[in-house]
Amino acid sequence: MSRGWAYFFWSHQDVVVVSREGNDPFKGFYDNILESLTRLKATMGPEAGDDRWVIAFYSYDWLTVVNVSPLALVGQWDVFIPYYATDCDWYHRAHMAGLKLLVEDVGLIFDMSASLAEPEKLLFGDGGDGIKPNSTKFQELIVALEAKGRVGTGPDPPGYPDRFFWQTEIMGGWGEPWAYNPDGLTRAYKAMGSAGRIIFSAKWGLPEASCELFREKIKAQREAWSFP
């Protein structure tokens, strides 16, 4: 807000984005982003009324565009709610403020659980058949991405690796000043997630496992912490 931006994008740092090369006619991921943004600009301001949006998800928050002007209607993220329910809390407060949270489809976005072997070769190819849309090279890329990542939201597919295993595999710097025990990092990270869900539930009077404020009768932010 201090920079005067009308909008900005955020993304997870562990995602891979690719175009839907099987579509006919083919349109690239970047082209779809530009078309989406052009369409969304029409409903960014207060004149849009009930159609005004604050967040547009391209695949949950793996890639997201944020409309800056209505952020003050929602307020800051609740710093007393650690991972993960803090985002759930903010999105629902945006809904209470009468703002839309949109979902846009611009291509395939993979949330990765591990790094790819030879990513340059997989992502950029080596000429030949790889320069054609939906090529054999592209199909090989999709197979590799599906083996170590997931596309879209929802439960992890069968056999999908533990999303937090990487903390215990990163051993660089162990024994040096400021290094943190990798096993402790994993355990603390998961404990913070559990604490966040407990605090979120207490704030809105919901069962601990629920993040479904949309389904409740809570209509205003002032109702927070009004539950026994």
Q: How far is CA 178 from the centre of its chain?
A: 29
pLDDT tens for the chain, 228 residues long, are: 788 899 999 998 889 999 998 888 889 999 999 999 999 999 999 999 999 999 999 988 899 999 999 999 999 999 999 887 888 899 889 988 989 999 999 999 998 877 888 888 888 766 555 567 778 888 888 999 988 877 765 555 555 555 555 556 666 677 788 888 878 888 888 899 899 989 998 998 887 666 766 666 677 888 899 887
Q: Under the phi-then-psi rule, with left for phi > 0, alpha for psi from -120 to 50, and beta for the rest, what region is 8?
A: beta
Give Cβ neighbours of residue 50 (< 8 Å, ≥ 6 apart): 98, 100
Q: What is the pLDDT of residues 48-74, one digit of tens each?
A: 999 999 999 998 889 999 999 999 999
Token reading at 11: 């993304």
* 208-224 pLDDT, tens digit each: 666 766 666 677 888 89
CA atoms within 13 A on the CB side of 89: 28
- With a CB cutoff of 8 Å and minimum separation 6, the contacts of 15 are 62, 63, 109, 110, 111, 112
Q: Tally helices (H) and strands (E) across the chain.
A: 7, 7
Considering all CA atoms of the chain, what is the largest pairwise distance in Å, rounded to the nearest integer?
66
Its pTM stands at 0.82
pLDDT of residue 165: 58
| Distance (Å, whole) CA 70 – CA 62 | 21
* CA dist list (Å): 72 to 7, 113, 164, 204: 14, 34, 33, 21
